[in-house]
Structure 1
Amino acid sequence: MECEPRLSRDEFDEVLVATGHGRHHEGELARSWSSVVPLRPAVLPVATMLSPSSVPAGSRAVVRGAALTFLDAALALTEGRGATFVPAPGRPGVLLHQRGPGEPATLLPTSRQGILLDAKPDPGTPAAEVDAAVIAGAAQRLEDLDRRDPLLAERLLAEITSAAALLLGGPEDHPKVQATLRSGAAPDARRGAEQALRRSVDVALGHRAPGAAWALGRAWSRLYPQVTAALRGSDMSSQQWAVLQRASRTLERFAFGPPLVTAQKLLAMIDSGAVDLSWLDAGVSPTPAGILPSSSEVDLVIDAVLAPPGLVTLLDPLPRQLLEERIVAVRPGRRGAMVDADGTALDVSGRRREHLALIGRPTEDDVIGHDTLNRHLHHEIENWAARVAATAAEEGPCDRGRPE
């Protein structure tokens, strides 16, 4: 006998929210842009947002943002417009930007920090190698941290800086490592974003001895599984969370920047004049209303700042409803929904809201590190699937949905 239909159009056994990046958010320029200078409100999808009609050949474009999405835009507007990058004769590790006819004249990135992401060493190269014993010891200490410790953030960061100092040379390098983390950049970043980028590329190529930024980046990336485990579902105070977030923004610039070849291409664009860092070094940026320091020299603005993770600053209907109707809960000072080990939403008292699960960016700060794109760090989706499959097996294919 065939089973009767189990679901009507408005009945569901499970709801899984896995929306990834939000579309609209409180910080987007498009919300209040009133300048006569045209705005491209996003980078993606590139074919629509950065088409030749939207970003004409020969134009000067300010880019809000200087991180990975800016690099996506820069490559789309150079390589995607016919440019090529070739090795510079007699200069190992240096690329030349041979410009294409459809490129904009200049891109001017901007950011609040005024610096670029450091290049990541290629896997398997000497600059990517670290002392395994140092990492193993630090990993064990991170696993032993008490998640109820009111100073959890400070103790976690102390383990990261201690490991970085040992990777760099020894305990005597600890003050240098701490100073770099505290300032938010390696010392030569104060001489401009270009010099900091060149330093990271030279280190990645093995042309320069590693410094504190390299050591912090390697410690953070190698110990990130233990970091995410220690912080998952943490009830630490808003003050401790703010301490951790300030430090993690710096650590992630050192650890999770672009691949080496992408950083080399960016340097080639700087050398060719396709990328101008003057606004980045000056610390200027478009205001939400579209006020520019020098609008007469700008043809358009590209907003390359993605919606932040979590739910609290998103303007899309679903996250607003989840928050406004208190369907999900967010800890003070955090951005994402509280969830159980299988992604099931939790209320403010920690009780499960059965049949509603959230996975990925909507849970950031409760579950840590979705932007690493490392599926081995998080097990919520597998746990959710196993629970749903087990429930289906117990009930049988014809049992659910029948009237009592």
Structure 2
Amino acid sequence: MIGFGPRGLGALEALSQRLKFTDRRVQIDIYEPGPYPGAGPNFAPSEPAYCLLNIPYRDIAIRPPQGTTVGRFADWQDRPIDPDSFPSRADMGRYLNARWDDLFAQGFKQTGAMLRLIPAQVSRISRKDSGWRVESKSGAEAVYNEVLLTLGQPPVEADAQWAGWQDHAAQTKAEVAQAYPAAALGEQAAGWQGKQVAIRGLGLSTYDVLRSLTTAQGGGFDAAGYHASGREPRRILPFSLNGQPPFPKPENAALDAFFEPSPEETARFTQAATAAVSAGPEVAPSLISGALMPVVARILGPQNVSEAEVAEWLETEWSDPGAQDRLPPMDALRYGIDLAAGEVAPSPGYALGQVWRKWQDQWRAAFNPGHATPETAKRLIDFDEGLKRYSYGPPLSSARELLALIDAGLVDLALTINPEIAETEQGWTLRSQGREAKVSVIIDAVLPAPDLSNIKGPPLPDLITQSLLAPVSTDLAAAIAPDGTLCDQGGHPVPGLCLLGRLALGSVTAVDSLHDCFGQSADRWAQGVIERLSA
């Protein structure tokens, strides 16, 4: 196993359950250079407590394997839990790390498997007879019957815009920085007092960045708003292509229950989604919309919203995602807060997004083992990714903090919509809609797309060169079989070489969910290993 964050942990737990029922002896080596096996960098326990999950406690359902001593996440806590609150990523990382410790110590005792953690980075994977030679950067190598890649998001080549800003910063007193690790950003930001700072991106990561620039510098929030320490930047300017902040999730379980589909509606969606995956790219959208429309029309019935109005919203979403939402950024932020707090009636988009969130397991179950054509996969993936502005929204508290920072004069959304950015001797000038501002720092808070051609860290570029790893199409990531087996450039399975996670987007969907790491993709891979062992 190459890489061992939540995805690797989920796969290993799934395999451990099945190895109990085989008498074959197995040696499992895990290559993970990081200090927190099972957690990985995204959930590192060393990250600040202000970096939050976008899932409330009541919705976290990553069930531990049978026989574990760790238990469920909520039960594992050493304090009373508010089910409507959102845990920190560091706390989740400690939990996942504890599950790894338990698995290492207890989970393989009854399996006849040998488990070894190798704290090294893999530099190359190549064929060796009927198996695979794995070489690490330390110079060591070993040969395996099977290799599983669970790498998360490897480092990528900087896009042209960011590369240009890096070069400009290297030649001037300007600075560029990355959103993560958040602890490192907080330390770097200690030198930005009085400076103007821009943030590229207005998604979930931006809220972590804002806390690195504010509360990490000694400021604080309370019911009255934000109280500055005086060590913050003078002004913070987030920007993105459309300038739209994501919509926060419903504030509590009672509000969230308003969007719950019935079992019958869920069954109809499952049928429609399965049919859509097998359909052509022109038919698939109508099948998905046909399952969504009656549910949302029922939910919005008290507002006299008709199924035709929902259909119109969906038609726009398939052709021009987000065109229905383009309020000015400040209006969009306030509207999202009111929606999540139940202060205003839900819009068609907000209701659709929440229903879609509740169907993520069914959506993955339909798409991931299917065989959509590249054209159909692209349409369906784009729809799912577009709805993330609703379905993957932040906690309501995060949106309120952003509003409080704006009211305090620290954050300005005046240049949020796709500004022109010009280099200056001290940094950059941002211009948008007749406004401009000079900044000396730009922070990147945009998660790279899973584009195989941009990956710069080993061992994937070499596998691409060997034609062992290939994309579904130019717009999608790696082609894999339902059990994770890689498909080569000719579309043929590559025996014994598997990949799970976001680098397979297009073969699988909704890959950025923590729940997906412990779901059916891991089960299918583990079952495939057992079947090959038996053969």
Native 8 Å contact 1:64 1:286 kept in 2: no
Displacement, 1:367?
A: 1.1
1:312 deviates by: 3.4
User: Quick one: distance in 2 between partners of 1:159 and 1:377?
Assistant: 30
- Asked whether the 8 Å contact 1:64–1:111 carries over to 2, the reply is yes
C-alpha contact 1:64 1:303 (8 A) present in aligned 2: yes
Corresponding position of 1:318: 459
* Partner SS for 2:365: helix
Q: What is the match of residue 11 of structure 1?
A: 143
Which has the larger displacement, 317-326 or 201-210? 317-326
Amino acid in structure 2 at the alignment position of 1:25: E
Look up the match of 2:38.
Answer: none
Asked if 1:83 is matched to 2:219, the reply is yes
TM-score by length of 2: 0.63
Partner of 2:503: 362
Aligned twin of 1:31: 163
Corresponding residue for residue 88 of structure 2: none
| Shift, 1:155, TM fit | 2.6
User: Is 1:154 paired with 2:290?
Assistant: no
CA distance, structure 2, for counterparts of residue 53 and residue 362 of structure 1: 32
Contact 1:30 1:41 in 2 (8 A): no
* Paired position in structure 2 for 1:293: 430
1:171 pairs with 2:338? no
String of CA shifts for 1:129-182, please: whole Å, max 9, x gaps: 225337425424424515332135323442365133333224243255336635
- Structure 1 match to 2:388: 252
Q: Partners of 2:265 and 2:236 in 1: how far apart?
A: 40
1:374 matched to 2:515? The reply is yes
Task: In structure 2, list runs of 5 or more residues that go unmatched.
Answer: 1-24, 28-113, 115-132, 134-139
Question: Distance in 2 between the 1:115 and 1:68 partners?
Answer: 12
C-alpha deviation, 1:387, in angstroms: 4.4
Q: Paired residue for 1:115, among 224, 244, 259? A: 244
Report the aligned-residue RMSD. 3.3
Contact preservation (8 Å) 2:422, 2:429:
yes
Moved more, 102-111 or 25-34: 25-34
SS of 2:494's equivalent? strand
64-73 or 36-45: bigger deviation: 36-45
Q: Does 1:235 align with 2:367?
A: no
Decide which of 40, 53, 65 is 2:176's aligned counterpart: 40
Q: Distance in 2 between matches of 1:368 and 1:304?
A: 22
Shift of 1:217: 0.8
Whether the aligned pair in 1 keeps the contact of 2:276 and 2:285 (CA below 8 Å) is no
Q: CA offsets, 1:166-213, max 9 Å, x none?
A: 3322424325533663554475x5441121121111111111111122
**Partners of 2:309 and 2:463 in 1: CA distance:** 47
Partner of 2:330: 194
- Does the C-alpha gap of structure 1 residues 339 and 107 become closer, same or farther in structure 2, counting only changes over 3 Å? same
Does structure 2 retain, via aligned residues, the 8 Å contact 1:339–1:345? yes
| Structure 1 contact 40–49 (Cα < 8 Å) conserved | no
1:399 match? none
1 CA distance for matches of 2:321 and 2:159? 23
Amino acid at match of 1:300: V
What amino acid sits opposite 2:406 in the alignment? I
More off after superposition, 168-177 vs 210-219 = 168-177
Q: Secondary structure at the match of 1:370?
A: coil
Q: Greater RCO between the two (CA within 8 Å, min separation 6)?
A: 1
Deviation sequence 1:18-57 (CA, Å, 0-9, x none): 1111212352754333333623241111232342467512
C-alpha deviation, 1:78, in angstroms: 1.4
Per-residue CA deviation, residues 373-398 of structure 1 (Å, 9 max, x unaligned), is 21377423333345446766x69xxx
Counterpart for residue 36 of structure 2:
none
TM-score of the superposed pair, with normalisation by structure 1 = 0.82
Structure 2 counterpart of 1:302, one-letter code: I
Q: In the alignment, residue 289 of structure 2 is paired with which amino acid?
A: A
Among candidates 210, 222, 228, match of residue 74 of structure 1 = 210
- Please tell me whether the aligned partners of residues 40 and 54 of structure 1 are also in contact (alpha carbons under 8 angstroms): no
Contact 1:340 1:346 in 2 (8 A): yes
Contact 1:312 1:336 in 2 (8 A): no
Q: CA separation in 2, counterparts of 1:280 and 1:358?
A: 37
Report the residue type matching 1:305 in the other structure: V
Q: Hey, what does 2:480 align to over in structure 1?
A: 339
Higher strand share: 2
- Does residue 125 of the first structure (1) align with residue 254 of the second (2)? yes
Amino acid at match of 2:286: R
CA distance in 2, matches of 1:121, 1:202: 10
- Residue 387 of structure 2 aligns to a residue whose secondary structure is helix
Counterpart code for 2:205: T
CA distance in 2, matches of 1:277, 1:85: 20
- The 8 Å contact of residues 269 and 288 in structure 2, kept in 1 or not, is answered as no
Structure 2 letter corresponding to 1:98: H
SS at match of 1:213: helix
